[in-house]
A and B are shown apart, each in its own frame.
Chain A
Amino acid sequence: MWSFSDIANELHIWLNKTFNPTLTLVIEMVIAGIAVISLFAVLGLVLVLMERKVSAWMQIRLGPNRVGPKGMLQSLADTLKLLVKEGLTPNGADKLLFNLAPFIAMIVAMLLMAPIAFAKDFQLWDLNIGVLYVSAVSSIMVISILMAGWASNNKYSLMGAMRSGAQIVSYELSAGLSILTIVVLTGSLRVSDIIQSQADGWWIFKGHIPALIAFVIFIIAVTAETNRAPFDLAEAESELTAGFHTEYSGMKFALFFLAEYVNVFIVCAIGATLFLGGWMPFHIGNWTGFNKVMDYIPSSIWFFGKTFFLIFIIMWFRWTFPRLRIDQLLNLEWKYLLPISMINLLLVTAMAILKWHF
């Protein structure tokens, strides 16, 4: 099949012919950087629009339908509005931390894009500890939220930040343990290896019930980690008006907003990579004919299809569930999810040693 790597290779050869190797490397890095930034912006816009359309659909409304065809350009218009708005810094706020926090949120979201395989051979950085890198970098997110909450000099923000700190730190454990189950099955932390190991079937099908349990726990944990309803205690607009970003306005608010959506995309992409095979088409064991037919669907469509399916599920949560209380939230993690995922990890390990999986 046609692959993105052909274009990349052609470009690489042409650049090498035209410039010296050092300049080539610099130019390639700039191209990659621009690609990530534009992907960040485009994903944010698309997901905001998607959320509004999905919520409208669930709430018997039409959603945005004035700007552009069927309201497609609504989030672009909103971004323009936010860009020209004044970014206020409240009196008594810690100016440095207050202004730094949204950028940390954005940088984390961008860093997390590096190890994601968007399609076959279309990955920025296939490092050998890819999955570990993701769980390590994603925990920096909490720092930006704590910074925003503390520096705002607002009690609502502070409470939102404190809630969010407790929440993210707790739920990272479950998310990490469910990621580990797949690492145990695959025997590698490298993203490309994990995807390649699913060439004869996705882990959610090959890994029996433990993989399914791990998948469900992963989805719950990442919903909490990204501060989405029903775990949106950090924002909780009926309690804390807007939680940690109460005092933010203009583009600084937009960065938090976009980072949230890009984070949702990233965790869903990780989920799709680990459990649903990433860009790997739907293959069944050694049914060669069937697998060939599936291969004709481009890998990017597989990847984005799976990811957006998971995003849809997370949006579905948001628009149907009420919010948990802070003690219930922590109970759920420490009393239920964490023990279950630990036992589940043991089960998977036993299964991997005994080669019971397909």
Chain B
Amino acid sequence: MFEEVGTTTEGDLIINVGPQHPATHGVLHLVITLNGETIKKVEPHLGFIHRSIEKMCESLSYRQFIYVTSRMDYLSAHINNHACAMCVEKGLQLEIPPRAQVVRVLMDELTRIASHELWWGAMAMDLGAFTPFFHAFRERETINDIMEETCGARLTMNYMVPGGVMQDIHPDFQRKVKEFIQLFKRKIHEYDEMVTGNVIFQNRMKKVGYLSAEDAVSYGCSGPTARGSGVRCDIRKYYPYEVYNNVEFEEILETGGDSFARYMVRIREMEQSVCIIEQLIDNIPEGDFQAKTKAVLKLPKGEFYSRVETARGELGVYIVSEGGTTPYRIKFRSPGFSNLSVLDHIARGSKLGDLVAMMGTLDLVIPDIDR
């Protein structure tokens, strides 16, 4: 019965995971060659959520195209917008007011916490534990409420504009963020008790999906995925933008290279984000929240590049301008694409059950991979 439905000539079983599958968190399609339960090959197929965002951006003005990028990595919409706004500002050689810089960094770090929270819950769900997902969402809702007050949206905020931020922060913003930080510091220990310390969880994560530092570099991994293998690559540290060179924070490095190391990097990164927010929340300078810009932005002829550290890694925005009101070419260097490419390498030889755990620790957001 099974000969006709997908076995290789060596008699290995080929199964299709996705594009509609609970483990892929979106429309990723994996073609997996299996020998029993052991993975021989993983082949990711993309294209199910390709919206040609880069091409769309080319027909939109420099103010408009930023809104489209919220739909790439929808979990760190702020940071995507930030990268684009920064690139346009580079082209315009625009100085943005200090208040806007601090607000941008605050929003970025809140986004990073929210994104890591969702990753934490979804990864636990991949491993078969449902409850952490709801606990993570409880705290994530608080962040979304804070965002909603200031930006008017909960997921695709579109708050960063060339020259600063769209509007001033809500009067309650500082108080609510401080309350959230107090709550979150308690909850992060709860997370450790619930998942990190669990013996089943540790057995599932340790010595699984090993990625060496050399491979991480050669596959172009970035963000927590690379830092879990001991590669120093935090853009905030090495190519600081906005006020990141004025705040004290630690670049989290783990040398394990396995799924557990990548997990620990993200958990500890949330603590560092809290640390950054704590330093800035009482020191938001007074002043304008937006620099004066012309109604129609025109970038000079040339090529501009900006890079930021999103929750998943390095996001690069490359704009080629011919001097008009729309970009001639836009290219996004998304972290998810490079991180996904490593999946086949780390998954070979492990069990099918571990594949979902590895995908969890790579923190894949499909619309980011497949723009």
CB distance B353 to A233 under 8 Å?
A: yes
Query: What is the minimal beta-carbon distance from A352 to any residue of chain B, in angstroms?
Result: 33
Chain A residue nearest in CB terms to B1: A153
Count A interface residues, CB 8 Å. 32
CB distance A155 to B5 under 8 Å?
A: yes
CB distance B204 to A158 under 8 Å?
A: no
CB distance B138 to A155 under 8 Å?
A: no
Query: What is the minimal beta-carbon distance from A326 to any residue of chain B, in angstroms?
Result: 6
Question: Given known contacts A156-B15, A239-B353, is B128 in contact with A60 (CB within 8 Å)?
Answer: no
Chain B residue nearest in CB terms to A61: B134
Question: Given known contacts A156-B15, A241-B22, is B352 in contact with A322 (CB within 8 Å)?
Answer: no
Surface stretch bound by A, among B70-78, B111-119, B195-203, B326-334: B195-203
- Set of chain A residues within 8 Å of B68, measured between Cβ atoms: none
CB distance A159 to B352 under 8 Å?
A: yes
Please indicate which of the listed interface residues B1, B15, B128, B195 has the most CB atoms of chain A within 10 Å of its own CB.
B128
- Set of chain B residues within 8 Å of A327, measured between Cβ atoms: 37, 351
- Set of chain B residues within 8 Å of A229, measured between Cβ atoms: 128
Question: Given known contacts A59-B134, A60-B135, A60-B138, is B126 in contact with A238 (CB within 8 Å)?
Answer: yes
The proximity string for A residues 313-342 relative to B, scoring 1 for CB distances below 8 Å and 0 otherwise, is: 000000111111111100000000000000
Q: In residues 212-250 of chain B, which contact A (Cβ within 8 Å)? A: none
Among candidates B129, B195, B198, B352, residue contacting A239 with C-beta atoms closer than 8 Å: B352
The proximity string for B residues 134-146 relative to A, scoring 1 for CB distances below 8 Å and 0 otherwise, is: 1100100000000
CB distance B130 to A59 under 8 Å?
A: yes
- Set of chain B residues within 8 Å of A59, measured between Cβ atoms: 130-131, 133-135
The proximity string for B residues 69-106 relative to A, scoring 1 for CB distances below 8 Å and 0 otherwise, is: 00000000000000000000000000000000000000
Q: Does B13 contact A (CB under 8 A)?
A: yes
CB distance A319 to B351 under 8 Å?
A: no
- Set of chain B residues within 8 Å of A237, measured between Cβ atoms: 22
Query: What is the minimal beta-carbon distance from A181 to any residue of chain B, in angstroms?
Result: 26
Q: Does A280 contact B (CB under 8 A)?
A: no
CB distance A92 to B1 under 8 Å?
A: yes
CB distance A321 to B129 under 8 Å?
A: yes
Bin chain B's interface residue count: 35 or more
- Set of chain A residues within 8 Å of B265, measured between Cβ atoms: none
CB distance B125 to A238 under 8 Å?
A: yes
Chain A residue nearest in CB terms to B208: A325
- Set of chain B residues within 8 Å of A238, measured between Cβ atoms: 22-23, 125-128, 356
Q: Does B194 contact A (CB under 8 A)?
A: yes
Among candidates A155, A230, A241, A325, residue contacting B351 with C-beta atoms closer than 8 Å: A325
Among candidates B126, B128, B131, B198, residue contacting A232 with C-beta atoms closer than 8 Å: B128
CB distance B203 to A328 under 8 Å?
A: yes
CA distance A319 to B125 in the complex (A): 11
Question: Given known contacts A156-B15, A324-B204, is B198 in contact with A319 (CB within 8 Å)?
Answer: no
Query: What is the minimal beta-carbon distance from B24 to any residue of chain A, in angstroms?
Result: 10
Among candidates B13, B126, B200, residue contacting A321 with C-beta atoms closer than 8 Å: B200
- Set of chain A residues within 8 Å of B130, measured between Cβ atoms: 55, 59, 319
Please indicate which of the listed interface residues A59, A241, A328 has the most CB atoms of chain B within 10 Å of its own CB.
A59
Query: What is the minimal beta-carbon distance from B337 to any residue of chain A, in angstroms?
Result: 23
Q: Does B21 contact A (CB under 8 A)?
A: yes
CA distance A229 to B135 in the complex (A): 19
CA distance A158 to B131 in the complex (A): 28
Q: Does A58 contact B (CB under 8 A)?
A: yes
CA distance A327 to B2 in the complex (A): 25
Q: In residues 28-86 of chain B, which contact A (Cβ within 8 Å)? A: 37
Query: What is the minimal beta-carbon distance from A63 to any residue of chain B, in angstroms?
Result: 12
- Set of chain A residues within 8 Å of B198, measured between Cβ atoms: 321-322
CB distance B126 to A158 under 8 Å?
A: no
- Set of chain A residues within 8 Å of B22, measured between Cβ atoms: 237-238, 241
- Set of chain B residues within 8 Å of A326, measured between Cβ atoms: 37, 351, 353
- Set of chain A residues within 8 Å of B21, measured between Cβ atoms: 241
* 9 contacts across the A-B interface (CB closer than 8 A): A60-B135, A61-B134, A153-B5, A232-B128, A233-B353, A236-B353, A239-B353, A322-B198, A328-B203
A interface residues, Cβ below 8 angstroms from B: 55, 58-61, 92, 94, 153, 155-156, 158-159, 163, 229-230, 232-233, 236-239, 241, 319-328
Query: A238-B356, A324-B203 are known contacts; what are 15 more A-B pairs with Cβ within 8 Å?
Result: A59-B130, A60-B135, A60-B138, A94-B1, A155-B5, A155-B13, A159-B37, A236-B128, A237-B22, A238-B127, A323-B200, A323-B204, A324-B200, A325-B203, A325-B204
